[in-house]
Structure 1
Amino acid sequence: MSVKNQTSVSFQTSDDLLQKLVDTAEEKSRENLKRFENRLVLIEGGGYEKIWLETQPMGGEMYAKRNLEAGINNQLLFMENQREDGRIPGSVACENGRITPQFNKFQGFCFPSAALNVYYLMGKDPGYLDLLYTTLERFDSYLWRVRDSDGDGCLETWCKYDTGEDHALRYGDAPNDWSEEVPPEGCSVVPMASMDIMSFSYASRETLAKISRIQKDIRREEIWKEKAACVQDKIRSYLWDDAAGACFDRDKNHRVLHTMTHNNLRAMYWNSFTQPMADRFVKEHLLNPKEFWTHMPLPSV
């Protein structure tokens, strides 16, 4: 794929302490640049040596202004290692010198908008855009083929690492990770109807509509907009509690899990909330000093 653009960031100040701080931060960030075989990537860092779907497409997009090669590879390694059935690896490692995609969780999905932004940073390569479209279309198809095991029209999370909620008590006795393409049996909570996994689909479909617009396929753009709206409508009708002004997941028996979580904020990142839903959650919960807006720290539940 051709890369037309070059990117760079520079910072100079007469404040010696601030300059040292920025220079040190830049130096530490460069330590997270690693070679996966012959591919330069930006790993998670802080002792985490992989790229996770949860963060590193977004991290790559952010770092692309400093190193475009790493920023692009942080998108491509997920796209190029997509399975035939459409599943995207939840993480990509380099083990014994070889790139190793891992499919034992989703972990998160900070991917569609980041990958599309990299398309612009790299100079609008049409081949990259085609690959992104195919990747998202196949992943969305996979989600609806596999992750609605009870057929209620709401996608499910099957393990704690699907949404990156390590040790989350609300998952009950759910496994940490899960590699099978059928849900675990005998658990008290999972398969769990999930605002996160539904939002994965919404974000995919919204981005597919944007790509279609870029490619001047208006009919296809409208189809994806309609498909995204269907997901949003299901989130609002099935997971949104209008009295509480928030979304709540449901357990395998369709019972509402009344745990107020920051996952509502994630849904806003994926744009799967309507504006009135987002306004209510921010006003009534995020800015509520008795819930999230505490002095220190910012709680997740």
Structure 2
Amino acid sequence: MNRRDFLAASAAVLATVRDSSAFAASEPLFRTGNARWQSTYDAALRVLAGNIQVMPRFPGPVLIEGSSYAGIWMECGPHEALLYRSFRPDAARNSHLTFFALQKEDGQLPANNKATAASPGWAQIQMVVPIAATAWELARTTGDHELLEKAYIACSRWDDWLMRHRNTRGTGLVEGFCTYDTGMDNSPRWHGMPNACPDGSARNLPRVASLPRLCPDLSATTYGARVALAAMAQALGKASEASMWQQKAATIRQLILDKLYVAEDTAFYDLDAQNNFVKINCDILSRVCSEHVPDQRLFDTLWQRQIHRPQGFWPQFPLPSSAIDEPTFVRPIPRNSWGGASQALTAMRAPRWMDHYGRSADFAHMMDQWCEALQRDSTFRQGIDPLTGTFSPDEAPKYSPAALVMTTYTWRLAGTHDEGDEIWWNIRAGHPAAQDATFRMKTDNGKIAEMHYTGKAATLSLNGKQIATIASEGTRLITTKDGTPKALVGINNRSATTNVSLHISGKATSQRSLQADEHMNLKP
């Protein structure tokens, strides 16, 4: 998106919002005849509303982590608030601006801002989902030029800081100095390593012979940030800087693949200061996929040999923080464990890559499993046993990522959601969430998208104009932002083949058949 297109889109968003003033205060609405699903969904919304708070050192409300975590962390807070933006757009914006406002003169972004601390957290870099990527998505979809400019400046300075202070070996990859850098608390990946850097400064390397490490996930986060910075530069009319960021992104992506992927293990590992791989088969894998570092061919190999393997990362309740057959898997599962538990944070991040790599039907299975676990125990805790779906009992309730898994997955399973320049309508007649259900949401460009289930069919409309009626147990209709149908996708996780009865307004009803994950283009 170039600067002219960004400004035009911004004006269009604002105009549409003004034209839809009757809906200006509307929040996404989900109503189902399934009392169990409705009760858990509503409980999740109460958790999230209760976790909107004002933290020290920044005046506006943000979405905090909740549970035992009284604050906001860069690795996840901006992403969480982005997912909640339809309910609290102010909190989504503030959850980014907090980090930019607290940025140091040398470019360092704080790892966190906590209510219980005297200052922001500077002892680790703690990044997973790139704040540049979430800021770009928020600015692009809301037409927020001020946020765009602030994010571009702050995230450019952060990249410079990382290359000055976390590239001490001169490889071009991002180095991990301590456990908290990756947010993988209590993971065997970091066994024997310090949690934070000395003297409360992420610039200080602990005196451990095997440090620093070249980290695939920290480098992948930087790759994703550079991709976003290129898009931001283009939108700001900085064509030469956009090209620079594209080249920097391509360079670090290739370094990850060349230096940190071990083909015989089908795994990405840290490389320590003695050039030994730290061979712990853990959540590094999903984080690298989240930023789309592997191409489709490599991903298909990872899927077959690692991700979709029941003894790997696809047990009864995917995705565990260590492979099931990883020798260091920690049992019994303690609180806040990245040594085996399936973490709500990982589940929350899965939409960033599962559909991208064409695994929508399997993702539906994962979403069903997580929603079932949350309905059995709607206290919204941090992690579950990947074999039983039981939440760790000694963790505190009211954890925002778990609540966001319930709300986000509900809409992705049987409702509608924005996806870039498209709207995705997920039709699952017969699904528990779809029982006599109504979904209504304001799209990113201010239009009102609605789905109504009656029996075996769903009726779809945009701003009151009917788009289509579809009878199916697992089909996604992809449309443009103005509702023009583009494609169908098979998303049924219970059957290899899905039958579809499709009636697009103004056209005759047609019968289709889709295989799982099949993408079928629709003629204009």
Verify same fold: TM over 0.5.
yes
Larger displacement relative to structure 2 (20-29 or 37-46): 20-29
Which one has a larger percent helix, Structure 1 or Structure 2?
Answer: 1
2: CA distance, partners of 1:285 / 1:19: 35
Correspondence for 1:277: 298
**So what's the TM-score if we normalise by structure 2?**
0.53
Correspondence for 2:214: 193
Correspondence for 1:217: 238
| In the alignment, structure 1 residue 147 sits paired with structure 2 residue 166 | yes
List alignment gaps of at least 5 residues for structure 1.
none
What amino acid maps onto 1:45 in structure 2? G
What amino acid maps onto 1:244 in structure 2? D
Q: Deviations over 1:21-72 (max 9, x none)?
A: 3322211221111122531111001121100112110011011110111111
**Higher relative contact order (CA closer than 8 Å, sequence separation 6+):** 2
Larger displacement relative to structure 2 (19-28 or 282-291): 19-28
What amino acid maps onto 1:162 in structure 2? D
Q: What SS does the aligned partner of 1:165 have? A: coil
Say what the alpha-carbon RMSD is for the aligned residues.
2.1
Q: What SS does the aligned partner of 1:293 have? A: coil
Q: What SS does the aligned partner of 2:66 have? A: coil
| In the alignment, structure 1 residue 253 sits paired with structure 2 residue 266 | no
Distance 1:292 1:188, change over 3 A: farther
Larger displacement relative to structure 2 (168-177 or 25-34): 168-177
Check whether the contact 1:172–1:188 (CA below 8 A) recurs between aligned residues: no
Check whether the contact 2:55–2:113 (CA below 8 A) recurs between aligned residues: no
Distance 1:223 1:262, change over 3 A: same
2: CA distance, partners of 1:247 / 1:204: 19
| In the alignment, structure 1 residue 46 sits paired with structure 2 residue 62 | no
Q: Deviations over 1:55-99 (max 9, x none)?
A: 110011011110111111111101111111111111112358x8x
The offset of 1:220, in angstroms, is: 2.2
Which one has a larger percent strand, Structure 1 or Structure 2?
Answer: 2
What amino acid maps onto 2:306 in structure 1? H
Q: What SS does the aligned partner of 1:206 have? A: helix
Correspondence for 2:29: 10
Q: What SS does the aligned partner of 1:107 have? A: coil
The offset of 1:115, in angstroms, is: 1.4
Check whether the contact 2:111–2:127 (CA below 8 A) recurs between aligned residues: yes
2:42 to 2, 11, 23: 23
Q: What SS does the aligned partner of 2:69 have? A: coil
Larger displacement relative to structure 2 (33-42 or 63-72): 33-42
What amino acid maps onto 1:252 in structure 2? A
Check whether the contact 1:171–1:189 (CA below 8 A) recurs between aligned residues: no
Larger displacement relative to structure 2 (14-23 or 283-292): 14-23
Q: How does 1:1-301 map to 2 (within 5 A)?
A: 8-36=27-55, 38-95=59-116, 100-110=119-129, 111-121=131-141, 123-178=142-197, 179-180=200-201, 181-185=203-207, 187-296=208-317, 298-301=319-322
**So what's the TM-score if we normalise by structure 1?**
0.90
Check whether the contact 1:192–1:251 (CA below 8 A) recurs between aligned residues: yes
2: CA distance, partners of 1:18 / 1:182: 48
Identity of matched residues, %:
26
Check whether the contact 1:245–1:277 (CA below 8 A) recurs between aligned residues: no
List alignment gaps of at least 5 residues for structure 2.
1-12, 18-23, 323-524
